[in-house]
Amino acid sequence: MDLKEMTVDELKNLALDIKEELDKRIRDIKQAQVEVNRILDKTYTFYFKTECDIRNKGYVARCTYGKKGIERYFYNLQETRCRNDVVIEGDFEASELDVLDIRYRNNDYGYSHYCIVLDGKITEICDVDDIHKISTLKRYLKGEIVFENFLEIVGIKEVKVGAIDELLED
């Protein structure tokens, strides 16, 4: 392939193919970096249990952001079935700052929500129906929001009072 002999359209297509390949490699490198950090970082073990309908099972999944939005990596938990019901339970490991999607599908066990692991504890970010906080969560997972700002926006951390706020109070 001689670049000097290529038409403008062929060069544009080549440039787009190169950009797409570079974007894919960057995503792969970021995912590999997350996995390396997960291995090097401290992980915590948590327990999950729910009883639900076999057609609408509960789960725990680690969340990242990909081409199609929030991507879920499901933890393999034990299932015990009886007719149309299933008990899902087991231990799962999560690292500090992992974002989790936890779906109980039964309010007797808990509510479905997005969480983040902070200081070795699961901290609720928002209910699965809170579209405003889910939108913020997506932006955080994409890397568009700084971690500290994310915690403030979703209400996990209090907003620091600045000079402007102090003047408004006076």
State how far the Cα of 75 lies from the Cα of 73, in Å rounded to an integer. Answer: 7
What confidence tier does 80 reach under pLDDT thresholds 50, 70, 90?
A: very high
- Tens digit of each residue's pLDDT (9 = 90 or more) over 20-66: 898 888 888 888 877 777 666 778 999 999 998 888 889 999 999 99
Task: Please tell me the predicted confidence (pLDDT) of residue 160.
Answer: 67
Q: Burial letters for 64-76: b for 16+ Cβ neighbours within 10 Å, e otherwise?
A: bbeeeebeeeebe
What confidence tier does 166 reach under pLDDT thresholds 50, 70, 90?
A: low
pTM confidence score: 0.68
Any idea what DSSP says for residue 130?
-
